[in-house]
Amino acid sequence: MAQDPTNPHDALLKALLDAPERAGVFLRENLPEALRERMTEEPPRHLPGSFIDPAMAETHSDRLFEVPLRDGRTAFAYVLIEHKSGPDPATPIQLLGYQQRIWQRFAEQDGQGRAQRYRRLPPIIPLVLYHGQPEWSVPLSLVDCIDADAELVALQRDFGYQVRHLRPEESDARLSSDPVLRAGLRALAWAFVEHLDDAAVARLLRDLPEGHPLEQALLRYIARVYPTTESTVYRALEITRPERAKELIMTVADEWVERGKKEGRQEGRQEGRQEGRQEGRQEGEATLLLRMIEHKFGPQAAAAHQGRIERADTETLLAWSDRILTAETVEELFQ
Asked if 27 and 106 sit in the same domain, the reply is yes
Cβ atoms of residues 5 and 218 within 8 Å? no
**Domain range for residue 325?**
258-333
Instruction: Return d(Cα 241, Cα 234) in angstroms, integer.
Output: 10
Smallest Cα–Cα separation from 245: which of 257, 231, 258, 255?
Answer: 231
Q: Is residue 235 part of a domain?
A: no
Helix (H, G, I), strand (E, B) or coil at 55: helix
Same-domain check for residues 37 and 138: yes
Total domains in the fold of the chain: 2
Are residues 187 and 274 located together in one domain of the fold?
no
165 and 262 within one domain: no
If phi > 0 it is left, if psi is from -120 to 50 it is alpha, else beta; for residue 30 that is alpha
Q: In what order do the strands lie in the sheet with 45-47?
A: 45-47, 60-68, 74-82, 124-130, 162-165
Q: Which residue, of 169, 193, 217, is where some domain finishes?
A: 193
In a domain, 204, yes or no: no
Judgement on whether residues 48 and 181 belong to the same structural domain of the protein: yes
Same domain, 155 and 303: no
Q: Does 26 reside within a domain?
A: yes
Looking at 193, 208, 233, which one is the last position of a domain? 193
Same domain, 34 and 131: yes
In degrees, rounded to 5, the angle at the alpha carbon of residue 8 between the alpha carbons of residues 17 and 183 is 50
Asked whether residue 142 falls in the same domain as residue 278, the answer is no
Residue 58 is assigned to a structural domain of this protein: yes
Distance between CA atoms of residues 190 and 169, nearest Å: 9
Shared-domain flag, residues 177 and 269 = no
> Containing H/E element for 91?
helix 91-107
Residue 87 falls inside a structural domain: yes
| 313 in the same domain as 182 | no
Q: Taking the CA of residue 319 as centre, how many other CA atoms within 13 Å lie in the half-sphere pointing to its CB? A: 10
Which amino acid does the sequence have at 236?
Answer: A
pLDDT 10s per residue in the chain (335 long)?
333 445 788 888 888 898 999 999 999 999 999 999 999 999 999 998 889 887 777 778 889 999 999 999 999 999 998 888 889 999 999 999 999 999 999 999 876 788 899 999 999 999 999 998 899 999 999 889 999 998 888 888 777 888 999 999 999 999 999 999 999 999 999 999 988 889 999 999 999 999 998 999 999 999 888 888 888 999 999 999 999 998 898 888 888 777 766 666 555 455 545 555 566 567 767 877 887 788 788 888 888 888 888 888 888 888 888 787 778 888 888 87
Asked whether residue 88 is assigned to any structural domain, the reply reads yes
Is residue 243 situated within a structural domain?
no
Residue 21 lies in a domain: yes
* Domain-ending residue, one of 170, 193, 216: 193
Q: Based on the domain organization, do 262 and 163 belong to the same domain? A: no
Closest-CA residue to 10 (of 56, 44, 67, 47): 56
